[in-house]
């Protein structure tokens, strides 16, 4: 759990990544990146026509 | 941080291919160099939600705001600090290590709960309080018109909170939704109730809880 009053360690945050992704997938599409925004031009220039790096597949988290 | 430590961090971040890790590490490095000047930054909006939810939401940029400052954050100071990171651009948006960093100004925060903190590789990263993010995303998803990406974002962060992957003060969520800045308690309550049902649990506002 990401705590309210303590600093979460990096290791604990990493360890929770897959479970957080799986929870989100139960109630919304796996990838919800916006198809466009006001930053499109600069993003597509930097990411070879995409708006960012591809997300890491859930099984590899 | 020494110049060598910054250079090593930049090499690591540039080589990072996982977008969420790349953004967390970059937020960590940027926060660290500003912190050395007495300026505390906080990750806001979709970038914060990505770190809370692993929601596959963010694009190639990170948004940060100034939560406190021991000195005025002038444009010269911004350029000087970001220059340590070999950043290009400015004065509020820079390209660094294969991503964009936006430092947007003062942090607008109506939550009474604390910013959350992750001890990331190059320094602590502070995240906008999840209570206000929930209320904010529900508002954006409905007003001025329906906006599905914000609705999906709201759903993911509410789901993570309901599953206790994030520690949330639900009383504070209700209070923020009732303030004049939002006045969207009905929509927030409905969204939380729907997601609780979808996850097979009870809403934190269920009167029998």
Which residues, 6+ apart, have CB-to-CB distance to B27 below 8 Å?
B41, B43, B47, B62, B64, B101, B120, B125
CB B155 within 8 A of CB B188: no
Strand partners, B95: B88, B100
CA distance linking residue B156 with residue B141, whole number of Å: 13
Rg (CA), chain B: 18
Q: Mean pLDDT, 10 residues at a time, over chain B (209 residues)?
A: 97 96 97 97 94 85 94 94 96 95 94 98 98 97 92 94 96 98 97 96 83
Q: Do A8 and B155 touch (CB under 8 A)?
A: no
**What is the token pair recorded at B132?**
């206000």
Helix (H, G, I), strand (E, B) or coil at A33: coil
Cα-based distances in Å from B133 to A50, B92, B110, B176: 26, 22, 10, 10
Average pLDDT, chain A: 90
Nearest chain A residue to B102, by CA: A39
Which residues, 6+ apart, have CB-to-CB distance to B162 below 8 Å?
B192, B195, B196, B199, B201, B204
- Cβ-based contacts of B149 with chain A (< 8 Å): 32, 34
Residues 143-182 of B with CB under 8 A from A: 149, 152-153, 155-156, 159-160, 163-169
User: Does B75 contact A at CB distance below 8 Å?
Assistant: no
Q: Do A55 and B52 touch (CB under 8 A)?
A: no
CA distance linking residue A55 with residue A53, whole number of Å: 6
- Cβ-based contacts of B119 with chain A (< 8 Å): 7-10
CA distance linking residue B141 with residue A38, whole number of Å: 18
**Residue B208 confidence (pLDDT):** 56
Confidence class for position A29, pLDDT limits 50, 70, 90: confident
Residue in this structure with the two tokens 């009167």, named with its chain if needed = B207
CA distance linking residue A38 with residue B190, whole number of Å: 30
CA distance linking residue B209 with residue B198, whole number of Å: 18
Mean pLDDT of the A43-61 span: 89
Interface test with A, best of B16, B23, B59 (most A CBs within 10 A): B59
CB A56 within 8 A of CB A20: no
Helix (H, G, I), strand (E, B) or coil at B99: strand
Q: Do B60 and A43 touch (CB under 8 A)?
A: yes
**Residue B87 confidence (pLDDT):** 97
Q: Do B167 and A2 touch (CB under 8 A)?
A: yes
Nearest chain B residue to A6, by CA: B117
Q: Do A13 and B117 touch (CB under 8 A)?
A: no
**Residue B55 confidence (pLDDT):** 79
Whether ipTM > 0.95 holds is no
């Amino acid at each position: 759990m990401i705590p309210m009053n303590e600093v979460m360690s990096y290791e604990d945050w990493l360890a929770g990544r897959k479970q957080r992704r799986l929870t989100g997938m139960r109630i919304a599409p796996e990838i919800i990146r916006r198809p466009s925004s006001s930053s499109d031009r600069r993003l597509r220039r930097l990411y070879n026509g995409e708006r960012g790096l591809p997300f890491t597949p859930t099984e590899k988290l | 941080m020494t110049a060598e430590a910054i250079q090593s961090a930049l090499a690591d971040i540039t080589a990072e291919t996982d977008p969420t890790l790349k953004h967390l590490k970059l937020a960590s490095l940027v926060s660290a160099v500003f912190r050395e000047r007495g300026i505390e930054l906080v990750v806001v909006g979709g970038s914060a939600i990505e770190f809370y939810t692993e929601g596959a939401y963010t694009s190639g940029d990170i948004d940060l705001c100034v939560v406190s400052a021991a000195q005025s954050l002038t444009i010269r100071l911004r350029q000087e600090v970001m220059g340590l990171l070999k950043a290009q651009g400015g004065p509020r948006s820079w390209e660094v290590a294969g991503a964009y960093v936006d430092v947007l100004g003062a942090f607008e925060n109506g939550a009474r709960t604390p910013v959350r903190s992750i001890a990331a590789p190059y320094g602590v990263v502070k995240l906008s309080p999840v209570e206000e993010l929930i209320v904010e995303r529900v508002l954006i998803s409905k007003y001025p018109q329906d906006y599905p990406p914000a609705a999906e974002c709201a759903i993911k962060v509410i789901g993570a909170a309901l599953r206790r992957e994030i520690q949330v003060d639900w009383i504070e969520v209700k209070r923020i939704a009732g303030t004049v800045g939002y006045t969207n308690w009905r929509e927030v309550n409905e969204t939380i109730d729907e997601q609780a049902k979808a996850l097979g649990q009870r809403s934190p506002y269920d009167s029998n809880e």
